Amino acid sequence: MKMNVGIVGLPNVGKSTIFNALTETAKASVANYPFCTIDPNVGIVNVPDERLYKLAEIEKSKNIVPATIEFVDIAGLVRGASKGEGLGNQFLANIRQVSAIAHVVRCFDDPDIIHVEGSVNPVRDAEIIETELILADLQSIEKRLEKSTKAAKTGSKEAKFEVEVLEKAKAILEDLKPLRTNTDKFEKEELEWLNKTLFPITIKPLMYVANIPEEDLPDGKNNPYLQQLKEKAEKEGSPVVVLCGKVEQELIELPKEERKEFLNALGLEEPGLNKMIKTGYSLLGLITYFTAGEKEARAWTIKKGTKAPQAAGEIHSDIERGFIAAEIINYEDLIKIGSIQKAKELGLVRIEGKDYEVKDGDVIYFRFNV
């Protein structure tokens, strides 16, 4: 299942530094001037999940394959992007293609790093990006509404439906509110139509990534910029991930065996990027199930609520087509017992059919016949 998170923000807030650390590459350009990133950089990142490695240890698996999530480093947006400022049209088109948004906000002072607005103000900075995304959505809604209104006059039921949905969306956007904070005003089929037809940017789930200075680690509780951003995020119901881009970059440059000691010295249990990956996974409504054996232990990504045959389809379409049943034990139960084989002998592996909704942490063996 391909799911991706677009990293957005003003120029020089640390987006490319964070992307490079996420993907452990130097693919994205990092420079002290606006628009050093033009074409979006794409990186596939492993989802950190200790359960997979414990399963592999139990089953003595020769190969380990983690779940992955894609991150896209999108060039810095500026005030006026919705009108084409700073290559805005190109960048906004890139954002429409992602599944969720990570909005990086600068929460540090540094006279050596240019701020495109001349000063650091996280709420203002976040609102600049938010407004440009709202205006971009409003333009596409108004354009489609004009077309649908003409069609509705001919008596088209489909066009009348479109006009109703578009009018709702237009009213929200004209109030300078993102669509994601007003989804309760739409019916399920209306949201589905909006997403499939117009790909609105402001309906996508969003997290804020607060880029704080090293001296404010581990939690940034004494950083006034962070507290301002958290207040804004809380009103919206958006999560905030706190990290220091500079530290995350330094961390990946260390040998893996030295990273834990480095984190401990900063009072951190894990890299901030792990939290960012996990938050992205959660924002997208994703869960993980596992397959494990001597040959391979693997994590599979599915949407919450996915039925067993469709979960099997993530492995291969033939397994979904020929699905008979799923042998399942939850990870926590398996860890207590010690092996899948022992769990089977004790009769603790249950058989589930086509209507079973796979749960996060399920360890599954699919029975199928093609």
Q: What is the arithmetic mean of pLDDT over 204-227? A: 97
**Cα gap 169→36, rounded to integer Å:** 34
Query: Directed axis angle between helix 88-96 and helix 122-152, to 10°?
Result: 80
Any known ligand binding at 13?
A: yes
Taking CA atoms, 96 is separated from 4, 136, 140, 201, in Å, by: 11, 10, 11, 6
**Tokens representing residue 240 in the block:** 């905030």
Taking CA atoms, 306 is separated from 68, 219, 368, in Å, by: 18, 35, 18
Any known ligand binding at 16?
A: yes
Q: What is the pLDDT of residues 301-355, one digit of tens each?
A: 999 999 999 999 999 999 999 999 999 999 999 999 998 889 989 999 999 999 9
Q: What is the arithmetic mean of pLDDT over 47-76? A: 92
- Burial-class residue 127 by CB neighbours within 10 Å (0-12, 13-18, 19+): middle
Q: What are residue 175's phi and psi, to 5 degrees? A: -85, 10
* pLDDT for the residue 28: 37
Running DSSP on this structure, what letter comes out for residue 219?
T
Specify the range with the lowest mean pLDDT, choosing from 30-44, 172-186, 233-247, 328-342: 30-44
**Cα gap 343→337, rounded to integer Å:** 6
- DSSP of 158-214: HHHHHHHHHHHHHHHHHTT--GGGGGGGS-HHHHHHHHHHT--STTS-EEEEEE--G
Q: What is the pTM of this model?
A: 0.88
Pairing label, strands 68-73, 41-46: antiparallel
Any known ligand binding at 12?
A: yes
Any known ligand binding at 17?
A: yes
> 4-283: what fold?
Rossmann fold (3.40.50)
* pLDDT for the residue 114: 86
Tell me the pLDDT band of 279, cut-offs 50, 70 and 90. very high
Q: What is the pLDDT of residues 1-18, one digit of tens each?
A: 778 999 999 988 999 899
CB 294 within 8 A of CB 64: no
CATH 3.90.550.10 describes domain 305-368: no
* pLDDT for the residue 79: 74
The C-alpha angle 331, 332, 333, rounded to 5 degrees, equals: 90
Q: Where in the chain is the domain with CATH 3.10.20.30?
A: 305-368
Tell me the pLDDT band of 43, cut-offs 50, 70 and 90. confident
* pLDDT for the residue 32: 32
- Burial-class residue 245 by CB neighbours within 10 Å (0-12, 13-18, 19+): buried
Q: Is the peptide bond before 111 cis (omega within 30 degrees of 0)?
A: no
**Cα gap 202→95, rounded to integer Å:** 10
- Burial-class residue 166 by CB neighbours within 10 Å (0-12, 13-18, 19+): buried
Which of 106-120, 203-217, 335-349: highest mean pLDDT?
Answer: 203-217
Q: Where in the chain is the domain with CATH 3.40.50.300?
A: 4-283
Any known ligand binding at 15?
A: yes
**Cα gap 189→176, rounded to integer Å:** 24
* pLDDT for the residue 287: 95
**Cα gap 37→78, rounded to integer Å:** 13
